[in-house]
Chain A
Amino acid sequence: MRSRSPWPYLLIAPTVAGGAFLLLYPLLKAAVISFQHFRMGELIRGGAAFAGLENYAELLSGAEFWQVLLRTLVWTAINVVLIVVLSTGIALLLPRLRRGLRLALMSALALAWATPIIAATTVFQWLFQSELGVVNWLLVTLGLDSFRGYTWFADGTATFAVLVILVVWQSVPFAALTLYAGLTTIPVELFESARIDGGTGWQVFWRVTFPMLRQLFALVASLEVIWVAKCFPQIWVLSQGGPGDATTTLPVYAFKIARVLHRYDLGSAVAMLTVVLLAVALVSNLRRMVRG
């Protein structure tokens, strides 16, 4: 019964209106600006001129963009691999624990997941503080004397490492709890029969668990790729992309160019390229995982 009642359209009207003004229109505008000459002057006076592919040409011909792109790929790969491996481990660990310990661990994960990003970022700055930070104290106590008063945020690689630890710490809870929820949907009989047939733990995981949860793994991995690649507040608050540009990933780069250099055109071009790259990566990833 496909009625001609106006009700459904009235009910979705606010959603459509919101989406049109706050999502579709800005998206089109971002695309347009990336093809314009749009800087401080145009922002004040208006009347941006069409510039064709100039912004994209400027980006792609410079060395900086490629460095940032490579850094973003490394950043995303390290984080996503760590997140997926650790959360798979935790998801497999959870059902094997006694009830009390399992609930405690799940609550801890939930608590870490719910901690606001900027609060967690501030805490990590304190954990890794050079003189009074508890991490340096722990490392020195363990005998690594070179960490006495070590300034993590003065060194590019060290800052990068701290950011990886922060993002992994924030992302593992969601992935682990989701994978655990998926794991509980697999009938116990499957594991039992695999065990009876003589499968080792490793074999059972690769022959039973992983195939059963293939789609869930694909989903979790894809979500993490999006979150990690687009991750901005943590990096901006902790290092502003520095020291130097050691932690400048694509979103940080786009923000710097637009907000600090007032190159709105170039910033939009970076943003559009990021969107296209992520879309291509995700579509191919999801396809392979779901089919294979």
Chain B
Amino acid sequence: MRRLLLNASAVAVLAVTIFPVYWMFLTAFKPTRDIQADTPSFWPANPTLDHFVTAVNAPGFWTYWRNSLLVTVAAVLVALVVALMAAFAVARMRWRGRGPFVLAVFAAQMAPWEALLVPVFIIARDTDLLDSLAMLSGVYFMITLPFTIVTLRGFLAAIPPELEEAAQVDGCGRLAAFRRVVFPLLAPGLMATSLFGFITAWNEFAFVNVLIIKDQDKRTLPVWLSSFRDVFGTDWGATMAAASLFALPVLLLFLFLQRHVGTGMTAGAVKG
């Protein structure tokens, strides 16, 4: 009886959790007459790719897709390199000002980004960086950087320095020791942090609304999707196909990297 109750509640939670995602993909594959049926079907009886064709052929779709990918990947890669440098300095070296630096990075994790919309807009305008993907990417880089430093520092601290020292004794330079010994051990940390960074940048909505003003070709997918009524009207099939295409890269990346994410979450929390 107790077991039945447990399983029943687990199944209920499972259903509620997964249903919106399932419904998104299901609607995207349903023919329009099934979407408009009085009794909705909960199974893809007559799957079709029509809505995906509509979404992909909508004006600007590929431009926005490319912009999103470009801005996100640039932000994540630069953040990884910069964070790795800072994390190495914090975890492996002793220097004056290290304590305050760590404290500042922690504080920056809680930065009130919503409060910075107006000043960042004004700064971008004054420096002629409105409608610029580079500026947008720069902001996303800075949003993800503190978290990336803290997490990578946690991972680095868990790798004994003796490993590098041993490699150096064996004739490796400091850089070579890092590349051959530490870097492979750091791989899960790099994956976890890049996943978090990717999701943050891919999702970002407020800054792109403020920084991309006139040049519509610089918009990203979230902005485009948020104005689906202008693009698709009441074509819910095409809207859900567009939403699916927007969600797909993150979900795929997530499934691909899922093994490493658990470690990533705890590394930041425990060692932080």
Q: State whether A1 and B222 are in contact (beta carbons under 8 Å apart), knowing that A18-B82, A29-B122, A118-B203 are contacts in the complex.
A: no
Digitize B1-30: 1 where CB-to-A-CB distance is under 8 Å, 0 elsewhere.
000001101110110111011011001000
- Is A127 engaged at the interface, CB distance under 8 Å to the other chain? yes
Query: Which residues of chain B in 86-106 are interfacial with respect to chain A, using CB atoms and an 8 Å cutoff?
Result: 86, 88-90, 93-96, 98, 101, 104-105
Closest-CB distance, A173 to chain B (whole angstroms): 7
Q: Are A112 and B115 in contact (CB under 8 A)?
A: no
Q: Are B36 and A271 in contact (CB under 8 A)?
A: no
Q: Are B251 and A8 in contact (CB under 8 A)?
A: no
Complex CA gap A18/B149 in Å reads: 13
Complex CA gap A105/B16 in Å reads: 11
* Interface-central residue, B90, B138, B142, B242, by most chain A CB under 10 Å: B142
- Is B225 engaged at the interface, CB distance under 8 Å to the other chain? yes
Q: Are B246 and A118 in contact (CB under 8 A)?
A: yes
- Is A85 engaged at the interface, CB distance under 8 Å to the other chain? no
Chain A residues with CB under 8 Å of B40's CB are 132, 134, 137
Digitize A42-79: 1 where CB-to-B-CB distance is under 8 Å, 0 elsewhere.
01000000000000000000000000000000000000
Q: How large is the interface on A (under 10, 10 to 19, 20 to 34, 35 or more residues)?
A: 35 or more
Chain A residues with CB under 8 Å of B243's CB are 118-119, 122-123
Digitize B231-272: 1 where CB-to-A-CB distance is under 8 Å, 0 elsewhere.
000001001101110110011001000100110011001000
The 3 closest A-B pairs by CB, nearest first: A271-B115, A29-B119, A233-B205
Of the residues B6, B254, B265, contact of A181 by C-beta under 8 Å: B265
Q: Are A123 and B85 in contact (CB under 8 A)?
A: no
Closest-CB distance, B4 to chain A (whole angstroms): 12
- Is A236 engaged at the interface, CB distance under 8 Å to the other chain? yes
Of the residues A105, A178, A233, A274, contact of B222 by C-beta under 8 Å: A233
- In the complex, 7 of the A-B residue pairs with CB atoms within 8 angstroms, ordered by the A residue number, are A5-B93, A15-B86, A43-B122, A114-B250, A119-B225, A134-B40, A237-B226
- Is A217 engaged at the interface, CB distance under 8 Å to the other chain? no
| Interface of A toward B, CB cutoff 8 Å | 1-3, 5, 7-9, 11-12, 14-16, 18-19, 22-23, 25-27, 29-30, 33, 43, 90, 93, 96-97, 101-102, 104-105, 107-112, 114-124, 126-127, 129, 132, 134, 137, 169, 172-173, 177-178, 181, 219, 226, 230, 232-233, 236-237, 251, 254-255, 258-259, 264, 267-268, 271-272, 274-275, 278
Closest-CB distance, B202 to chain A (whole angstroms): 6
Complex CA gap A12/B111 in Å reads: 19
Q: Are A112 and B17 in contact (CB under 8 A)?
A: yes
- Is B139 engaged at the interface, CB distance under 8 Å to the other chain? yes
Q: Are B247 and A119 in contact (CB under 8 A)?
A: yes
Q: State whether A274 and B114 are in contact (beta carbons under 8 Å apart), knowing that A93-B6, A108-B18, A181-B262 are contacts in the complex.
A: yes
Q: Are B142 and A117 in contact (CB under 8 A)?
A: no
Q: Are A15 and B14 in contact (CB under 8 A)?
A: no
Closest-CB distance, A258 to chain B (whole angstroms): 5
Chain B residues with CB under 8 Å of A134's CB are 23, 40
Query: Which residues of chain B in 44-90 are interfacial with respect to chain A, using CB atoms and an 8 Å cutoff?
Result: 82-83, 85-86, 88-90
Given contacts A123-B24, A181-B265, A268-B115, 9 further A-B contacts (CB under 8 A): A7-B89, A22-B139, A43-B125, A118-B205, A119-B246, A172-B17, A233-B222, A236-B226, A255-B117
Chain B residues with CB under 8 Å of A251's CB are 114
Q: Are B115 and A272 in contact (CB under 8 A)?
A: yes
Chain A residues with CB under 8 Å of B187's CB are none
Q: Are B116 and A120 in contact (CB under 8 A)?
A: no
Chain B residues with CB under 8 Å of A278's CB are 112
- Is B169 engaged at the interface, CB distance under 8 Å to the other chain? no
Chain A residues with CB under 8 Å of B104's CB are 19
Q: Are A15 and B85 in contact (CB under 8 A)?
A: yes
Chain B residues with CB under 8 Å of A123's CB are 20-21, 23-24, 240, 243
Of the residues B142, B239, B254, B265, contact of A19 by C-beta under 8 Å: B142
Closest-CB distance, A277 to chain B (whole angstroms): 11
Closest-CB distance, A182 to chain B (whole angstroms): 9
Chain A residues with CB under 8 Å of B240's CB are 122-123, 126
Q: Are A268 and B203 in contact (CB under 8 A)?
A: no
Chain A residues with CB under 8 Å of B141's CB are 18, 22
Q: Are A259 and B210 in contact (CB under 8 A)?
A: yes
Q: Are A27 and B119 in contact (CB under 8 A)?
A: yes
Nearest B residue to A124 by beta-carbon distance? B20
Closest-CB distance, B194 to chain A (whole angstroms): 14
Of the residues B17, B88, B94, B116, contact of A30 by C-beta under 8 Å: B116
Complex CA gap A268/B115 in Å reads: 7
Nearest A residue to B252 by beta-carbon distance? A114
